[in-house]
Structure formats: C-alpha cells, structure tokens
Amino acid sequence: MKKALILTVVFALTLISRRTLAAGPEPFFPPDDARLWTGDPIPYFSWSDEFGAFGYYLEFDDDNDWSQSLGGLETEDNYFDLGAFITQSEWDPLVFNLYWRVRAIHFDGGLGNPGPAFHFSKTTADPPEPWTPLHGTILKPWSQPVTFTWSRYPNEHWYELEFAAELEFNQPLGRLPWGQPNLNMINYISPVEWRYLGFSLFWRVSGEDKFGNKSPFGPVAGFSKLGYRRVMCFGDSITGGYGSSTFDSGFGGYPPLLEERLHNVDEKSSITSYWFSGGKAEDGAFNCLDALAFTASGAMVVMFGTVDIIDPGGCEEGQCRTLERLQQIVDYCREYAVATVVCTVIPYNPAGGHPKYPDVTVIQSLLDEINEDIRNWCAEERIAMVDLDQVMRDRAPDGDLTQLYFDWAHPNDYGYQIMADAIFPVLTSNW
C-alpha cells in the first residue's frame, strides 16, 4: 500500500515537472506560413504527441501576441480534422490570417506549456501571375539584366518572390519580400556582372493585402540566362571523356583539361559537358536548346559524327545527315548569340578493336568524307573550326595514332590533352 502511494506521488511529480519544464507539442500540419486558397482542401491539424497528456487544446490568435487569444478547442487526439465540422462550400469564401499552437491537457485539467506557433492564412483572391520573363525564355549572354513583372494583387500591400532551381520547388533557393509588382535587376547588378551569370531559374509570386491576408504562390515561370564565357562541350562519349582516367568522376576527357587552361585567361570562365552515349548529330540537333538552357552556356564546342558513320541504322530512314544536323545546331547557337566552335571527327584507331567494325579502312574513309564536308562547310559559313582529325595525326608520337587511344574510338589521357590544347586557341581567339 505504501509502495503504491509512493509510486503515485512520483508519477504525479514527474508529470508536474514535465509540465513545468517541457516545451509544448510541435505543430506538424498545416506547415508554418501555409497559404490557403479557395478550392484548397479544408486543413487537417496535427502535432506531436506528448507523454502523459490527457488531451490537447488547439489555440488560435490573429497577431501571435497571445495576450488575448481568439480561443480554441479541445481534442483527445494529437490531430483535429476541421473538415468534420465545416463543409467545403462554407470553407471556400472564408478569408483569414491566423496563428495556431497546441497545449497538452494534463490529468488535473491544467494546461501545459504552449508549443511553437505556426502561421496560416486563406484568401479568395487569385495569386499574382508572372508576366516577364516569360516561361521558357532563354536570355542571351549579352542581354541586359532582367526585369521581373507580375499581375497586381487586390488591395496590394506586399509581395513575396520565391526562387528555385527546379520546377517542383522541393528545395527553394530563397524568398524575397517586395513592395511593388516589378523588380528591375539592373538596379542591383551591373551589365558586366550580369553577362557572366549563367543559370536556369524558376520563380513565382505570392501577394499580401493591406489586411495581412497572403495568397498562395501563383503559377511558376522558368527561364535561363546563358553565361558569357560559360562553355558547353557537346557531343558523344568522346566528349564525355570515356577512356580517360577522369571519366569516373563524371567530368572527364578534354573538358576539364580545357577548363584548366581557360582559367589562366579568365578565372570566371567555366566548362560543362553535355553528351550522349552513342550520340549522333541528330541527338545534338534535337536536344540543342534544352542543353543550352540546362547548362546556361554562352559558348559551345561541338563534335558529332563518329557514331553517324559506324551505326547509321539508328538515324531516320538510315540517313544520319550529319552536316544538316550540325547546321541546325549552329543555327540555334546563332539565334541566341552563342559562340560556336565545330570540330572535325577524330581519326579511327588504326588498331581497330571493335568486333562489329573490323575493317578499319572502310570506316576511316567514311570519316574522311564527313571531315572534308565539315571543313568546306565551316569555311563557307565562316564557322570557327578545330581540325581535330589533322591535329591528332600531326601530334601522334612518331606518327603512331594508336598511342593516343584507349580503344577503337576513344582517346586516352594523352589524346584528350591534345584535343584540349587544339581547341583552346580557337575558342579564345575572340576573348
């Protein structure tokens, strides 16, 4: 009897101690700063469970001061479904701006410490709609700093811009409070600084009226800014650096070697590679704009043709039309003022090694034909060109091309270094 009484006292003291010292329940949902809109589901409140609680008190306030709480309601569980007490038609016209928090109800009916307060609001007004830059816009390297504009919010008081690197906004880059429906970046960044920037960005806007009611974030718009001296190396697995000691790093072959040299000229310059395993010139043409937008590049080094020759069966009607596809790539680059360097296709390894293409002389003669077409076309169109075919032959030790190769088509580290050294002066000739 005495032992049971002591245990009861200890248990009571434990609860009182927890009530005095412990923080209150942690709110879960709706998340902090939730912005609800007409047509959104009626919220379902939930929070962390608290040891020894006999129930919970869900409390509301309109200013987060809590000196004069708006009141609340009791529930036995660590959740409350508001939809069980109000219909969607009753919910839709509501407009409010509130804070909520939770206290545990203890065995004696007393209330524990309050947990953190979360803010949530609801409005019936349409959220702001982004206007400029338009969704899908690609800005040229030499463009002026962008001006963000969007539709006005009713009874406007404040706006909030949110930015992300991906469409879903799973990890926003940040939010910017703003007092008017436009933001001109030329007031905050010089044209010289702007031209070096290369990025893809998604943005959206929330409005707040003079009563403090915030809208949800509106539709998402995305755009890309191509960076001056931000170079994309575009091609097949040779561009990807297969066969180099750096290939497994995800950035191998000639691009990192080229970047090292570029940094000696301009430390703000950068290189990225965008390549297709087994890639053909048509892959480049069909994906050129997406690649430019994704890498935000203001310059391109392009080499396609090897796979067009050895595996033409994958092309439309078995005709790869390499030169035509390269022309499409160059046209896209010219449209967006992207400096372009076209490379001839490197030689086929004289040692061969590919089980499907044992006749080296036939493959090389076809490569010679496409390279001659590339030379003539670049001369006629006044396109910057690097004759990698000739350079590799000239730089091979004792004329032995096999010393530059990892396998039948892909160079080794020495071969990739020769490629980088040959591309560098042409790429930087107008820098």
Q: How far apart are CA 30 and CA 50, in angstroms?
A: 19
Q: Which ranges constitute the DSSP H helices of 238-280?
A: 254-265
Mean pLDDT per 10-residue section of the chain, whose length is 431 residues: 46 45 85 90 93 93 89 92 92 92 92 94 93 96 96 94 96 95 96 95 95 92 96 98 97 98 94 96 96 95 95 83 97 96 97 82 94 98 97 97 96 98 94 76
Nearest to 404 by CA among 391, 414, 419: 414
3-state secondary structure string across 38-105: CCCCCCEEEECCCCCCCEEEEEEECCCCCCCCCEEEEECCCEEEHHHCCCHHHHCCCCEEEEEEEEEE
The domain locations on the chain are 16-123, 130-225, 227-427
Task: Please state which CATH class domain 16-123 belongs to.
Answer: mainly beta
Q: What is the predicted pLDDT for the residue at 249?
A: 96
Q: What is the predicted pLDDT for the residue at 398?
A: 95
Q: How far apart are CA 335 and CA 166, in angstroms?
A: 25
Q: What is the predicted pLDDT for the residue at 406?
A: 97
Q: What is the predicted pLDDT for the residue at 22?
A: 65
Into which CATH architecture does domain 130-225 fall? Sandwich (2.60)
Tokens standing for 145? 């700093």
CB 329, CB 279: distance < 8 Å:
no
Task: Please state which CATH class domain 227-427 belongs to.
Answer: alpha beta
Q: How far apart are CA 126 and CA 110, in angstroms?
A: 43
Q: What is the predicted pLDDT for the residue at 52?
A: 87
Q: Measured at the alpha carbon of residue 141, what is the angle toward residues 252 and 285, in degrees to the nearest 5?
A: 60
CA 21 to chain centre: 44
56, amino acid identity: Y
Q: Is 89 exposed, middle or buried (0-12, 13-18, 19+ CB in 10 A)?
A: exposed
Q: How far apart are CA 63 and CA 113, in angstroms?
A: 19
Topology agreement, domain 130-225 and domain 227-427: no
Sign of CA dihedral 322, 324, 328, 331: positive
Task: Name 100's bridge partners.
Answer: 60, 118
